[in-house]
Amino acid sequence: MLEIFYNRRSTRKFLNQSIEEDKIKKLLTAALLSPSSKGLRPWEFIIVDDPLKLEKLAICKPHGASLLKHAPLAIIIAGDKSKSDVWVEDCSVASVFIQLEAEALGLGSCWVQINRRYYNDDITSNEYIHDQFNIPERLEVLSIIGIGYKAAERQRLSDCDLLWDKISINNYKDPKIF
Ligand SMILES: Cc1cc2nc3c(=O)[nH]c(=O)nc-3n(C[C@H](O)[C@H](O)[C@H](O)COP(=O)(O)O)c2cc1C
């Protein structure tokens, strides 16, 4: 498991190669297996592989979404705010489960933040996506995960990246070196 964690880096450039159906099913299986507060599972997932729709997603905010234009697949993760007051947390966990399964399948992925982001001065990214995808009002979009075969391998994370000083034991900041 840690090998997957070390190897997972955000991928923003993808090969022009579609993802096999059985892999897409595994990505969705991972999402549906993710834990949620009180087991309420307030999330829903919209699979996007239509290039025209991906182009629309790529402009859902001014910065940080353009990678979706050339991704073969995007998964929109939305939470039902009427079902759970912690839909953000539940959708975040599902987003990461998808990213880790992507890495396990030899795919790259990148999180695109939607919650609290803006399409322009007046329209939120969430509202823009609702319009484009006919999403019901009760759902709020948390994130979009862009997924595809990596155009290039990025350097894996190493032990030097581990911020062990973020860790305390029993009392905050009692020193503990692993
Ligand atoms: C909550 C969250 C929001 C993010 N939003 C974006 C985003 O909108 N666009 C983007 O290109 N990357 C986004 N990322 C990816 C981060 O930039 C990336 O994870 C971080 O720089 C660390 O790099 P790594 O994933 O390669 O380890 C986001 C990641 C997280 C966890």
The reply to whether ligand 1 has any atom less than 6 angstroms from the CB of 57 is no
Q: How many CB atoms lie within 10 A of CB 6?
A: 15
Q: How far apart are the C-alpha atoms of 23 and 88, rounded to whole Å?
A: 26
CA-64 nearest atom, ligand 1: 9
Residue 20 has pLDDT above 70, yes or no: yes
Question: How far lies 171's CA from each of 5, 142, 167, 168, 175, in Å?
Answer: 28, 34, 10, 6, 9
Which protein residue's CA is at the shortest distance from atom 17 of ligand 1? 10
CATH of the domain at 33: 3.40.109.10
The total domain count for the chain is 1
Q: How far apart are the C-alpha atoms of 140 and 160, rounded to whole Å?
A: 37
Residue 175 has pLDDT above 70, yes or no: no
pLDDT, tens digit, for every residue of 50-85?
999 999 999 999 999 999 999 999 999 999 999 999
For the chain, the average pLDDT equals: 96
Domain that holds residue 95: 2-166
- DSSP string of 21-43, one letter each residue: HHHHHHHHHHHHT---GGG---E
